[in-house]
Structure 1
Amino acid sequence: MSEIRPLTAADVPAVADLFQRVILKQTAPAPHTLSDYLMSLFLEAPDQDPEIRSQIYVKPGGSVTGFMGALALPMSLNGTPLRAAIGSCLMVDGHADDPVAGARLLRTFLSGPQDISLGETASDITDSMWRKLRGIVLPSYSLDWFRLINPAGFLVELLANRSAAARSLSPLARFLDRWARRRASGPELRWSSVPIRSDISHTGFLTDSEIDDEVLYELIPRFTASFSLHPRWSQEGLRRILKDAAEKKKYGRMTRRMVTMRDGTPVGAFIYHGDPGRIGHVLQVLATPGHAGSVVDHLIGHAAESGLVALQGRTQPALLDAMLTRRCAFTHRCSTVVHSRNPALLKPFLTGDAFFNGLAGEAWTRLIGDDWNKRREFSRTGKAFRTSSG
């Protein structure tokens, strides 16, 4: 009979192979770098709770065919410490042969010792399983937003995903975008592009500047404390999150910027990945009450000045009003879900007074946005001398 049991270090290579087959759709064995990362993420994290365990699904013959990761997230509700757990990487190989395996893994996760169970990337199938187990989908946390900056460059980027030869059109796209963005200058925002000088970010009394992780360590707790329910990361845990977040090869370079008033008082910050000519992926937008719109303006303005063709990210209720008036489009790709045996703990999520998604989720992990496929490194003579993983 199949069994579900906690993940151990000896199981990690099998889980890595499962991730390689089910998530990455690769037939080759998982690279050792993926195994090492899964070990550090699910078994060695600084804020790991020894009672909140990832689970594997084991067939009678001993093969691992299912997995559900659990990331511990210490939280605080109006000063009261709570234990939360984020469900990550629910996957089953051969679902048709054992259609209840995923539901059994999720049920085991939800029956854990945590006060609150959360999911940030639930697919339609997983969403349905959460609902059947009395989980609640949070619509205002479940939208992805999109802001177009350079329309011609965006079209080239889409075509380049099908054929690299499309990038030869980039010079023409840049010319067309400069023309389009000059026409967009003025007080009225356009859906099609952003003004050439990013006027929307120059509000006169606010400015943004590059910062490092040391500054972020101080800012993040300050900005999240305004929510009644928010993470209470250890400093070591937050350091690990930001370190991992920086390593997303598919998304490009990570930008960290702080928005301040004239006197230097911080009112917000934003973190996004992206390179010129590419689509930027926003990991987090932080703002003090009343400044969300200005922080979003500076985010869009900086991305435009940096040559990105568009921005995309995940919503939070506190940012929705600001984004609705800044020509952001919204779509639903996956759901944010919550479950608790204590109904009182659900209220902050239902009212939008809980800080979740992004850094308080699983989007920061290298499992999203990093490149685990094998690549060959070449010597100066052009001959491959070893194979490594990225």
Structure 2
Amino acid sequence: MNDAPAWAARLRAERTSRQWSQRQLARRLAEVSGAELPEPESLIRIIRGHERGEHRPDDRYAELYCRAYSLSEAVLFDAAEEIEELGDEIDAMELVRRAEASDVGRDTLERLETAVDDLASAYPSSPPGVLLGRVRRHLGYVSRLLDGRKTITEHRRLLVSGGWLSLLGATCHIDLHQYTPAAARLRTAVQLARHAGHAELTAWCVETEAWQVLVDGDYQRAVTLSQGAQAIAPKGSSVFIQATAQEGRAWARLGDGPATRDALNRVHRLVSPLSPPDRPEHHYRYDPAKSDAYTATTLSWIGDPAAVPYARQVLARLDTGADGRPRPRRAALARLDLALALLATDQPDEAVDVTLAAIRSGEIVPSSYWRTSEIITGVERRALPEASALRDAYSELCVRRRAENRR
């Protein structure tokens, strides 16, 4: 418990100060909810996960805790501190700009570009709703700077920063299944990239759309967009590799084995001479270790038994941080890959355990819920007794999704 976040310790302290058991708290949450919650045992597991700091409560549960304890969100979850910290970040850049006696200056642009890199690096480990708030604040600052006086070079750099931020915002919206604002931000990113003449950013926009339609089940369009991104991208760039990997995943969903393996082979040839980037967690810098994770996903989707050892190897590295610091969100997806591969190789019992671990990690975002549903359907077809527990856990995921979509 000593390593738990401060908000998790506060949740536990508020409960114990009232001498409530977790079961009593579950009853209290149900009373203040006014809507259906998971059955008591599932709710107790959720409370336990929150108090251990395994995953931060989403908006719905945060509100319920505030009602149950009659406390504000700022007091219970330090929301005010987060907002103040973000304001400090923007204010620091604004102070530099004023010190330069210019509407836009070199130091201001450099600090803004560093902030963009920091946000892109925070993507793998940040809840998409939280990261989206930071992206919005920075986009507002870019908009103000674009209204000021600046040189042609400064204008282009602002367009590029605004483009990356808009693209990252679109990605967060897709993670949350908020497709209308995602499309708007993606259009903005494309326009800014084209105005700036930035081929790499333009290609990332197309690749991101390919990912969105893949998640939405339009696999043929995902192939077309992935190939389009490769045509735009600088050869051998991070986005060129990512778009090639995305093409392979789309072919796998279409059940085209030769095309799938051709794409995988192209990715492996592109990745083999690469060294890890300075910031492997950066969403727009291809990390060679990511290649194995994509291979595991792609092989599991096409039903290749080789997906099992691949996924086990990827998961072991992610859980231990062998490729750097642990990456819990990527590890959760690796568990889904492993579970699907285990089902294909007639190992359903382990598949159930692995899927439950992925769900309870709190690291699966809405854009990956369909993958969980696919596994559950496979388990239910086998009429395993554990299917009901898996379905209950998935129902909780769906509750989170509805809460996030209401934001």
Which TM-score applies when normalising by structure 1?
A: 0.29
Higher relative contact order (CA 8 A, sep 6+): 1
Which TM-score applies when normalising by structure 2?
A: 0.28
Greater percentage in strand: 1
Greater percentage in helix: 2
